[in-house]
Amino acid sequence: MLAGVFLGSQLVTLPLLMLAMPAVIGVLTSLVLAAVIRNADRPLATSWPSFGIRELLGSYRLRTGGDRDFAWNWVSRLLIGVAYVGVQTFAVFFLTDTAGLSTEAAAGEYARITAISTPVSIVCFLLSGYLSDRLGRRKAFVIVGALLIAGALVVAAVTQTLSGFLVAWLVLTVGQAIYLTVDIAIAAALVPDDAQAGKAMSVYQVATVLPNVVAPIAAVVVLAVSGNANYPVFFAVLSVLALLSGAAKLFVRRVR
């Protein structure tokens, strides 16, 4: 992530190259991986079961036996994802529209903020996972992470300055690292059926990817209704979603 943000900031005036280079790098590294990996191939199946739209949709249905813990955890992950992706996606727009920076300056500041926050994120990833295991607690960590994200969004909404956004981003980074690390452990512990572990974690991953679609749409709606570039309202909405994410964790019963 740090390398990608830095690359983007350096090529912000060359959009074609900025968009093409990640694709080229991705293809080349995938070819290298395919060339050097060993013992990954498996014999192809001799026959394929029928698989259509009905089977595709049915593959997302989990046999939970009435256990709603996994569903509540999924909802929590979706809400926190929308909150985080929302501020991450529109950070540069906030810096240009509200903080008054040029596009080039905003890209440079975003790269600087990412360079500062990435080491913080790595430390919090490792520390929160270690402490969660030692204390035998999961929900408290993710709730604290959600509260930190909500608080960071309030700071960003109130300050509307570059320095205020830097503080908000650092707090957001800490909260996001704590939440994501421990939430994965909760999701794994809440798999309804071990025989469906792959399917369950795939469904959980949908809650991780879906915010990339939901957050921009929500941003357009909120910003259009509240007035162009009204980021305080937008960040306030995201803060509420983070709080609701933490509240959803309270309904998860089978994990402490």
For 114-146, write each residue's pLDDT tens digit: 888 888 889 999 999 999 999 988 999 999 999
Which tokens sit at 183?
Answer: 């939430």
DSSP H or E segment with residue 249? helix 231-249
Q: How long a stretch of residues is the chain?
A: 256
What's the pLDDT score for residue 36? 86
Concatenate the DSSP letters of all residues of 91-147 into one string: HHHHHHHTS---HHHHHHHHHHHHHHHHHHHHHHHHHHHHHHHHHT--HHHHHHHHH
CA distance 236 to 219: 12
What is the mean pLDDT for each group of 10 consecutive residues in the chain (256 residues)?
Answer: 77 87 92 82 64 77 68 92 90 84 83 85 91 91 95 89 89 93 89 75 88 89 77 91 94 86
CA distance 68 to 73: 9
Instruction: Spell out the domains of the chain, with CATH numbers in brackets.
Output: 1-31 (no CATH), 68-249 (1.20.1250.20)
CA distance 131 to 255: 16
CB 52 within 8 A of CB 118: no
Residue 249 one-letter amino acid:
K
What's the pLDDT score for residue 204? 87
What's the pLDDT score for residue 67? 67
What's the pLDDT score for residue 84? 92
